[in-house]
């Protein structure tokens, strides 16, 4: 039974268990089904990942008390960077303590006032902040609007042009049109940068993300992503791409130079994650199966969902109070989800963002949908 659903921070309870499909929260005497985590592959508490993290902790210690370039690089950091490069098919990789730091450190380092960035208007806040730090020329195009992007590119005389986009837009579950973006990049001699935080490990047939899903292969020049979502759920981020770019970041990227190194346990766990992904595509396939099952049942029931195939499944409600009250009612039925409204999303576009995991069973997904149908009818949504 749910004890309380008071409003405000932690209103749906503080988690008392490891991250998993079924979690304990302080507001409930029983475990609830979690459908709002970035735990797409279900690896946050995977036994093999946890064992690898413990082994690294025992062998390499709790931390290094240093940034990378002083005395913060161990053999496992280089091993992980090599594993990431191999996974993405790139030349080199640089680790950061978070992908926010990776995004904060790249544009200022690579782009000068003679250069220009062309950024999708719905890019993540960390990309926006990173671009603000750069002295480059800044242009913004409407979300996934290739016509406006081409107009901006054709009018620019910048020395270096860089198209910047999320691979997946995390509030909408929509996917960047990478084939069209790469065509424009070729036409106007631009670089392509993508943030793959909501794609790496589970989009595409082998989890290589939106380049694999959309068939653009190695036409993307620079990829930033995270270890804190599908890839074990702890912390850490990275930039992967041409060796010359990575070496420049090692020399000049301020978040890399002035932040502590990624802890050994996190590195050990992440190495195991890439071993699992290289060995089998079972987990990406499970995410896709569960996602399509949820989306079909919800659409058939009369709900409007944003996106089409991504495990971020925003249930569009358009009213902030309704999104909040529905989330409360769902928690009363043992379903842990969060309502999003302005300023997180635009006014009039409130929603409940459901996120699907490979660790969910079909029975878990059905229980979630059944609860949505029950509450949706009570609230006259369907």
Task: Single out the residue of 227, 229, 225 nearest to residue 103, CA to CA.
Answer: 225
Tokens of 82: 């090599």
Q: Which two tokens stand for residue 349?
A: 């576009």
Active-site choice (28, 98, 134, 170): 170
User: Which SS3 state, helix, strand or coil, does residue 315 take?
Assistant: strand
Q: What is the 3-state secondary structure (H, E, C) of 235-270?
A: CCEEEEECHHHHHHHHHHCHHHHCCECCCHHHHHHH
Collapsed DSSP state (helix, strand, coil) of residue 223: strand
Examine the residue annotation and report whether 310 is marked as an active-site residue of this protein: no
CA-CA distances (angstroms) from residue 202 to 16, 81, 190, 282, 291? 27, 19, 28, 10, 11
Q: Please spell the DSSP secondary structure of 7-49, one letter per residue.
A: SSTTTT--B-S-SSSEE-BTTBSS-EEE-S-S-TTS-TT-HHH
Confirm whether 379 is a catalytic residue: no
**For residues 198 and 229, is the Cβ–Cβ distance under 8 A?**
yes
In this structure, the number of other CB atoms found within 10 A of the CB of residue 378 comes to: 12
List 139, 161, 198, 272, catalytic entry = 198
Closest CA to 238 of 220, 225, 229: 225
72 in Cβ contact with 267 (< 8 Å) = no
- The helix/strand/coil state of 365 is helix
Selecting among 46, 88, 161, 229, the annotated active-site residue is 229
The pairing of strands 92-96 and 137-141 is unpaired
Neighbours of 62 (CB within 10 A): 9
Q: How does strand 92-96 pair with strand 237-241?
A: antiparallel
Cα distance between residue 188 and residue 193, in whole Å: 15
Q: Is 360 a catalytic residue?
A: no
Catalytically annotated residues: 170, 198, 229
């Amino acid at each position: 039974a749910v004890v309380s659903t008071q409003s405000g921070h932690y209103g749906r309870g503080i988690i008392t268990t490891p991250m998993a499909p079924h979690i304990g929260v302080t507001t409930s005497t029983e475990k609830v089904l979690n459908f709002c985590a970035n735990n797409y592959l279900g690896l946050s508490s995977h036994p093999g990942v946890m064992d690898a993290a413990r082994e690294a902790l025992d062998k390499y210690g709790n931390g290094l008390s240093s940034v990378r370039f002083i005395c913060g690089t161990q053999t496992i950091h280089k091993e992980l960077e090599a594993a990431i490069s191999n996974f993405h098919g790139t030349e080199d990789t640089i680790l950061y303590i978070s992908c926010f730091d990776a995004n904060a450190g790249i544009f200022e380092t690579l782009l000068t006032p003679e250069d220009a960035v062309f950024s999708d208007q719905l890019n993540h806040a960390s990309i926006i902040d990173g671009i603000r730090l750069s002295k480059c020329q800044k242009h913004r195009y409407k979300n996934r609007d290739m016509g406006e992007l081409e107009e901006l590119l054709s009018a620019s005389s910048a020395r270096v042009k860089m198209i910047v986009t999320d691979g997946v837009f995390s509030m909408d579950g929509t996917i960047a049109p990478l084939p069209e973006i790469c065509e424009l990049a070729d036409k106007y001699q631009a670089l392509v940068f993508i943030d793959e935080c909501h794609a790496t490990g589970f989009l595409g047939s082998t989890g290589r993300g939106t380049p694999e899903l959309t068939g653009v292969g190695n036409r993307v020049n620079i990829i930033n992503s995270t270890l804190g979502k599908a890839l074990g759920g702890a912390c850490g981020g990275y930039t992967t791409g041409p060796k010359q770019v990575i070496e420049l970041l090692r020399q000049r990227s301020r978040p890399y130079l002035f932040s502590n190194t990624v802890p050994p346990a996190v590195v050990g766990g992440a190495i195991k994650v890439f071993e699992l992904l290289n060995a089998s595509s079972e987990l990406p396939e499970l995410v896709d199966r569960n996602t399509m099952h949820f989306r079909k049942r919800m659409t058939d029931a009369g709900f409007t969902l944003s996106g089409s195939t991504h495990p971020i499944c925003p249930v569009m409600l358009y009213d902030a109070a309704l999104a909040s009250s529905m989330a409360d009612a769902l928690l009363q039925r043992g379903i842990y989800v969060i309502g999003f409204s302005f300023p997180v999303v635009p006014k009039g576009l409130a929603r409940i963002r459901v996120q699907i995991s490979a660790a969910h069973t079909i029975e878990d997904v059905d229980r979630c949908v059944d609860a949505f149908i029950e509450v949706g009818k009570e609230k006259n949504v369907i």
